[in-house]
Amino acid sequence: MELTARQQDIINAAINIIARQGYQELTTKRLAEVVGVSEAALYRHFESKTDLIHKILEYFQSLAHQAMGSIHSEIKDPLQQVKAFVLNRYKLFIENPDLARVMFSEEIFENDRSLAEHNLTIMHIHRDQLIKSIQAAQKKHQIRTDLEAIQLFRIIVGSMRLLVTQWQLCRAKFDLQQEGEKLWQTIEKLITEDKK
């Protein structure tokens, strides 16, 4: 995704406003003030508030896509790919805590079908990529074959999402990366084949 420097500034400001004040507080007036441009200038970069949120979703997807490409090119072991996906998400949200708040905000997506569909599409891309690694690990008998890949995906991503939400609600009072690694170790014990 190619963004101009000004578009990136606007996206960053919008993410910050949503994360700290809520989606309803994201107005063109407030956004223009934060970025230091006129309201009319905003419309040269984004057609509407909805268009801006779509661009934020595309921005998140581009970050996630870069990470997934890196994981699959650098790591060949499928179980390690799953682990790297999970740990990378924690790293991404630690580096971009406001972005995590926006991506997990139900308020943004509940009343706009196009935004909900866009977010769901991103989830499905991640699901498909992760399931591919899970199934490859099952073929190598690294992950239990008596469990459906889709259910394993939900366990892995659902627990990750819960941990990130807890981290956000307590204002990052615990080390997300450390707790994420512990959670992964627990999940790995539950889903991997017994080597006995």
Q: Which of 44, 55, 60, 53 is nearest to 92 (CA)?
A: 60
Label residue 47 by pLDDT band (50, 70, 90): very high
* pTM greater than 0.85 (yes/no): yes
For the segment 30-52, the average pLDDT, to the nearest whole number, is 93
CATH number 1.10.357.10 given to 50-191:
yes
pLDDT for the residue 94: 96
pLDDT for the residue 2: 81
For the segment 153-169, the average pLDDT, to the nearest whole number, is 96
Which pairs from 59-62 meet CB under 8 Å and 24+ separation?
59/1, 59/3, 59/11, 60/99, 60/102, 60/103, 60/122, 61/1, 61/122, 61/125, 62/1
Name beta bridge partners: 191.
none
Better-scored residue on pLDDT, 186 or 65: 186
